[in-house]
Chains A and B, each alone.
Chain A
């Protein structure tokens, strides 16, 4: 039995079967159950070491699987990543019932997770670009379910993913045999530019970010937030693999300077533009952009610290964006849209959904005692040590998102005739809001629970963090 068979092919197969499911509830039970099972398995069972069951009986999960002449490799060091990927997707699939998603959402979501894990596991790792493109294409029905119409955001998403894949493939050809040294600075410059543009297109890095807020505006926030956060997180890890593999790229100071500047610019752009939106879905998109910027900035810090902080952003990302997307799904369903004009005064009837929609951006912005705070605090310290300008940029972006959150709060609660406060959420919505708000608070108040687990992920990148 091999790790890729368990964490790639098995969930992929279950995802395909779940496409036939008749109800979201049934599909979510199975899909989330499988995802949680895989998360627990990754947490408890070592890869590559014998596991004793009863007496002399036992088994061993091998890290490698051969497929079509290539390899899928999930080493022992990847286990914490698998835990968080499947824990996150499990939560997201379980919440599909509350978000009132189509039954196919569950199968497609589980398939997306499996494909993205495959992208991280494939060797040679440049094939990951093709797998990410395939995952993006397969998820079109998730982003544009039957009965809806594809907007410009989806078309732009497809365009950028396809073009990004082409850039990465060209870079891969250019870099064959240059792992330890690169003859000539011209080739280094060309390869770095092609790689940078390719990853920027795939991740929606500024100035190729326009598809992110467009997607979250046009498409159901629950589906768009899942696809964008999953794809961009995995592309981020894919980018880390380049740094890990190519010594010349890893040891170039310019690499880290670019990451710091681009990350800071994305934080500023995401935070400030969120403040000036009139559509709650677009604010979510800019929130994702800000979080991505922080991830790039973390990598820009370099070494073990940078990689640890990059992964330490994940728990808050999973909890806060799930809360945000679920709250916006509930609010949008009540008024058939997420423009501020349609949402006006809705918070007085749906206070828990409102709390979720406001607390989540505050957590992403790094408000104290919420999930994002511990990592942001470390990032702000890192920025302060580098340059006051960088610290100012991060603070400005966070302030913008805080402003956007309070603006949304105002839109949702202020109404001319001031109707009485009531709670009209359905019971399952209320339970999910309570649970996720508690989770966002716990992650912020007790970072010692998850911090060591996330930061241990640097072991997967021994050269980068050595």
Chain B
């Protein structure tokens, strides 16, 4: 077994991505969500750089960080706090997120017959996409969380797709879609805030 740094760092990055994705799923704080997104896109860029030149992989980083920034700006004026939730709610999300680990570990070998991608990248991709889908299922009612979940899924997809397809234009267009998703998310979040502040008026 090759235990050199160059061989094991993708697995370490994949592990970090899973942990951050899990944290994003469990937390209810938007700062954790957006901070997590920034880390996820940095990790995704590192894995994508295994297949693409760094200059091209950087489009994913730039797109992801711009998306996190746009969503962060939309949260700037948030004054309303979410109602406190029972501990059982986050415990449920934690357990649901942890279920992703055995799922990914068992699915990765089979998926490798479909997609010629090494195990760390395929595992990281599947983990992010599954955690994003969980997020969509569990929190599909608030724009910020839906867009955050879609961006998580997109990051996972980018890791997989970069290993399969090396088109410069596709990379650019996918980064554009990420930023457009964030812009739409920001628009919808601001609308939601305006509506809730109007309701709060006497």
* Partner-B contacts on A (CB < 8 A): 68-70, 127, 130, 133-134, 137-138, 140-141, 144, 146-150, 152, 154-156, 158-159, 162-163, 165-166, 169-170, 173, 190
The answer to whether the Cβ of B3 comes within 8 Å of any Cβ in the partner chain is: no
B169 x A70 contact (CB < 8 A): yes
B184 x A173 contact (CB < 8 A): no
Which residue of the partner chain A has the closest CB to B185?
A158
Q: Which of B10-18, B31-39, B139-147 contacts A (4 or more CB under 8 A)?
A: B139-147
* Partner-A contacts on B (CB < 8 A): 114, 136, 140-141, 143, 146-147, 150, 153-154, 157, 160-161, 164-165, 169-170, 173-174, 176-177, 180-181, 183-184, 187-188, 191-192, 194-195
Which residue of the partner chain B has the closest CB to A140?
B184
In the assembled complex, the Cα of A337 lies from the Cα of B2 at a distance in Å of: 66
Residues on B with C-beta less than 8 A from A150 are 143, 188, 191-192
A-B contacts, 11 listed (Cβ < 8 Å): A69-B169, A70-B169, A130-B174, A137-B177, A146-B191, A149-B195, A150-B192, A155-B143, A156-B140, A169-B157, A170-B160
Instruction: Please name the 7 residue pairs, one residue from A and one from B, whose CB atoms are nearest each other, closest first.
Output: A149-B195, A150-B188, A137-B180, A155-B146, A140-B184, A173-B164, A130-B173
In the assembled complex, the Cα of A176 lies from the Cα of B196 at a distance in Å of: 49
In the assembled complex, the Cα of A162 lies from the Cα of B148 at a distance in Å of: 13
B169 x A68 contact (CB < 8 A): yes
B154 x A162 contact (CB < 8 A): yes
A149 x B192 contact (CB < 8 A): yes
Q: A144-B191, A158-B147 are in contact. List 7 more A-B contacts (CB 8 A).
A: A127-B169, A130-B177, A149-B195, A150-B143, A159-B136, A169-B161, A170-B160
B180 x A159 contact (CB < 8 A): no
CB distance from B52 to the nearest CB of A (A): 15
Which residue of the partner chain A has the closest CB to B164?
A173
- At the interface, is chain B mostly helix, strand, loop or mixed? helix
CB distance from B163 to the nearest CB of A (A): 10
B188 x A144 contact (CB < 8 A): yes
A159 x B146 contact (CB < 8 A): yes
In the assembled complex, the Cα of A134 lies from the Cα of B176 at a distance in Å of: 9
A137 x B191 contact (CB < 8 A): no
Residues on A with C-beta less than 8 A from B195 are 148-149
Known A-B contacts A133-B177, A152-B140, A159-B136; the reply to A166 vs B188 at CB < 8 A is no
CB distance from B148 to the nearest CB of A (A): 12
A127 x B188 contact (CB < 8 A): no
In the assembled complex, the Cα of A68 lies from the Cα of B172 at a distance in Å of: 11
A149 x B191 contact (CB < 8 A): yes
In the assembled complex, the Cα of A6 lies from the Cα of B174 at a distance in Å of: 26
Known A-B contacts A68-B169, A173-B164; the reply to A159 vs B150 at CB < 8 A is yes
B153 x A162 contact (CB < 8 A): yes
Residues on B with C-beta less than 8 A from A158 are 146-147, 150, 181, 184
B191 x A170 contact (CB < 8 A): no
